[in-house]
C-alpha cells in the first residue's frame, strides 16, 4: 500500500511485535508515524532504530493525552497498546484492564479531538471458547467472565462496546480488527506464545512443550499479512463502522504445529505434554469472507514460508529485529 504519503499516523503499542512491523511498513509507504508506548512488552531500542517519533507514555494515564498535547494531531490511530501473550496479560490483570479500557477511552478522546480514523486491534479471544466454527463476526462469543483469561478477553470486548457506541452516536470513525494468532520475525522467545516457544526449544534441541493433549486448534497468520489487513482498514472507507476478522483460515492442531516446527528445523526434539491452561479455547479458525469482500484481503504467506522467514531472520537479523531475537 503506497498511498500513505502525507498521512500523520499514531501507533499506540508501536514498539510491540505487530506494532514494529506496522510502523516499518507505514514508514515505507510514506506516512509520518508517531508511536506511543510504555515499553511494557515492547522494545525501546528497536523503535529508535526505526526513526519514528516517540512518546514514552501509558495510554492509561489519567491526564488527557490530547488536551495536554502529549500526542500530535493525526489522521489515523492504530490502537495496539495491550499485552497480547497470556503470560504477560495474566501477570498484571488489572493493568491489562486499564490498558484496554482506559487506553481506548483516552485514544478515542484524541481521535475525536483531531477527527482521526480509529483502528482497534481487537482479538479472536472475544469469541472465547467458540460455540460456532469457523468464527464469524456475528458470533457473540462464549467467554468465562471471571476466569484467568477474562482480564484480556473481557476488556477487549468492553473496548469494542465503547468504540461501537462512539461509532453509532456519530462521535468517531471506528474500525475494529479481530486479529487471530499472528506470528513472525521479531517475536521474543520468552513471551510464552507457541511459535517462538517451539522454535527456541527445537533449535536448542530441547523437548517441545505442549499444554494439553495438542488436539486444540489454532490458525496462524504471518505478520506481514496481518499488517496488510490493518493498513487496508486504516485507509478504506469500506471498513468504517465494521468489525472484521483478520487471520489465516488454515486450521492446525497444536500437535501438528509442533511437529511442523520440529521438521522445519531438522530437530528430533521430543514433544512433552503439560496440563492445559484454564479456559484455553478448543478451536480457533476465522471466517474471512468479510475481509475478502470489504478489503479485498486474504493472507498470502503459507506456514512453511513464514517459518523459513523466521529462520532466515535468526541467521541474518535486521536492524529492527536484532534487539529482540535471542
DSSP string, 130-179: -SSSSB-TT---B--TTSTTHHHHHHHHHHHHHHHHHHHTTS-EEEEEEE
Residue number with the shortest CB distance to ligand NAD? Answer: 16
Cβ burial, residue 208 (10 Å; 0-12/13-18/19+):
buried
Q: Is 81 in the site for ligand NAD (CB under 6 A)?
A: yes
Residue 37 Cβ vs ligand NAD, minimum distance, rounded to whole Å: 4
**Closest distance between ligand NAD and the C-beta of residue 20, in Å?**
8
Contact string (CB under 6 A) for ligand NAD, positions 124-163, x = contact: ----------------------------------------
Which of the following is catalytic: 152, 183, 211, 222? 152
**Binding span for ligand NAD by CB under 6 A among 17-25, 134-142, 202-210, 260-268:** 17-25
Whether the Cβ atoms of residue 128 and residue 136 lie closer than 8 Å to each other: no
179 near ligand NAD, rule: CB under 6 A = yes
Should residue 286 be labelled a site residue for ligand NAD when binding is judged by CB under 6 A? no
Distance of CA 139 to the CA centre of its chain: 20
The only residue of 66, 123, 201, 217 in contact with ligand NAD, by rule CB under 6 A: 123
- Find the binder of ligand NAD among 7, 13, 166, 258 (CB under 6 A): 13
38 binds ligand NAD (CB under 6 A): yes
Q: Which is nearer to ligand NAD, 43 or 75 (CB)?
A: 43
Query: Using an 8 Å Cβ cutoff, are 212 and 254 in contact?
Result: yes
Rounded Cα–Cα distance for residues 268 and 155 (Å):
40
Q: What is the DSSP letter of 189?
A: G
Q: Does 17 bind ligand NAD (CB under 6 A)?
A: yes
Task: Determine which residue in the list 121, 143, 150, 202 makes contact with ligand NAD, applying CB under 6 A.
Answer: 121
Which part of the chain contacts ligand NAD (CB under 6 A), choosing from 12-20, 231-239, 274-282, 317-325? 12-20
147-158 CB burial, b ≥16 within 10 A, e <16: eebbbbbbbbbe
Q: Is 25 in the site for ligand NAD (CB under 6 A)?
A: no
- Residue 106 makes CB contacts below 8 A (sequence gap 6+) with 59, 60, 61, 64, 65, 66
Question: Is the CA virtual torsion 99, 105, 108, 110 positive or negative?
Answer: negative
Question: Judged by CB under 6 A, does residue 299 bind ligand NAD?
Answer: no
Residue 58 Cβ, how far from ligand NAD at the closest point, in Å? 4
Q: Which residues contact 118 (CB under 8 A, 6 or more apart)?
A: 76, 77, 79, 107, 108, 111, 163, 166, 172, 173, 174, 175
- Give the binding range for ligand NAD (CB under 6 A) out of 68-76, 80-88, 167-175, 209-217: 80-88
Residue 42 makes contact with ligand NAD by CB under 6 A: yes
The answer to whether 39 contacts ligand NAD (rule: CB under 6 A) is yes
| CB distance 127 to 141 below 8 Å | yes
39 is catalytic: no
Q: How many CA atoms lie within 13 A of 150 on its CB side?
A: 7
Interaction of residue 82 with ligand NAD, rule CB under 6 A: yes
Interface positions, 180-199, toward ligand NAD (CB under 6 A): 181-182
Pairing type for strands 8-12 and 32-37 reads: parallel
For ligand NAD, the binding residues (CB under 6 A) are 12-13, 15-19, 36-42, 58-60, 80-84, 88, 99, 103, 121, 123, 179, 181-182
| Residues taking part in catalysis | 152
Amino acid at each position: 500500500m503506497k498511498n500513505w504519503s502525507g498521512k500523520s499516523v499514531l501507533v499506540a503499542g508501536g514498539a510491540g511485535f505487530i506494532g514494529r512491523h506496522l510502523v516499518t511498513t507505514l514508514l515505507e509507504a510514506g506516512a509520518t508515524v508517531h508511536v506511543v508506548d510504555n515499553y511494557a512488552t515492547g522494545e525501546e531500542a528497536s523503535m529508535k532504530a526505526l526513526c519514528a517519533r516517540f512518546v514514552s507514555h501509558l495510554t492509561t494515564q489519567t491526564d488527557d493525552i490530547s488536551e495536554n498535547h502529549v500526542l500530535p494531531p493525526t489522521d489515523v490511530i492504530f490502537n495496539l497498546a495491550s499485552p497480547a501473550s497470556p503470560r504477560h496479560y495474566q501477570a498484571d490483570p488489572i493493568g491489562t484492564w486499564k490498558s484496554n479500557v482506559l487506553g481506548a477511552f483516552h485514544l478515542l478522546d484524541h481521535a475525536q479531538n483531531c477527527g482521526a480514523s480509529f483502528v482497534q486491534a481487537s482479538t479472536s479471544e472475544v469469541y472465547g471458547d467458540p460455540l460456532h466454527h469457523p468464527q464469524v463476526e456475528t458470533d457473540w462469543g462464549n467467554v468465562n467472565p471471571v476466569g484467568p483469561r477474562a482480564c484480556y478477553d473481557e476488556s477487549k470486548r468492553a473496548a469494542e462496546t465503547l468504540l461501537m457506541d462512539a461509532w453509532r452516536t456519530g462521535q468517531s470513525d471506528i474500525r475494529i480488527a479481530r486479529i487471530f494468532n499472528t506470528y513472525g520475525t521479531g517475536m521474543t522467545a520468552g513471551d510464552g506464545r507457541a511459535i517462538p516457544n517451539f522454535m527456541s526449544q527445537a533449535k536448542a534441541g530441547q523437548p517441545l512443550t505442549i499444554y494439553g493433549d495438542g488436539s486444540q486448534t489454532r490458525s496462524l497468520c504471518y505478520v506481514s499479512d496481518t499488517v496488510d489487513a490493518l493498513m487496508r482498514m486504516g485507509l478504506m472507507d469500506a471498513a468504517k463502522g465494521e468489525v472484521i476478522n483478520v487471520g489465516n483460515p488454515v486450521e492446525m492442531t497444536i500437535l501438528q504445529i509442533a511437529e511442523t516446527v520440529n521438521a522445519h528445523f531438522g530437530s528430533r526434539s521430543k514433544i512433552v505434554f503439560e496440563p492445559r491452561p484454564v479456559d484455553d479455547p478448543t478451536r480457533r479458525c476465522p471466517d474471512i469472507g468479510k475481509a475478502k469482500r470489504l478489503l479485498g484481503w486474504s493472507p498470502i504467506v503459507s506456514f512453511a514460508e513464514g517459518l523459513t522467514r523466521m529462520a532466515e531472520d535468526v541467521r541474518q537479523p535486521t536492524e529492527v529485529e536484532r534487539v529482540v531475537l535471542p
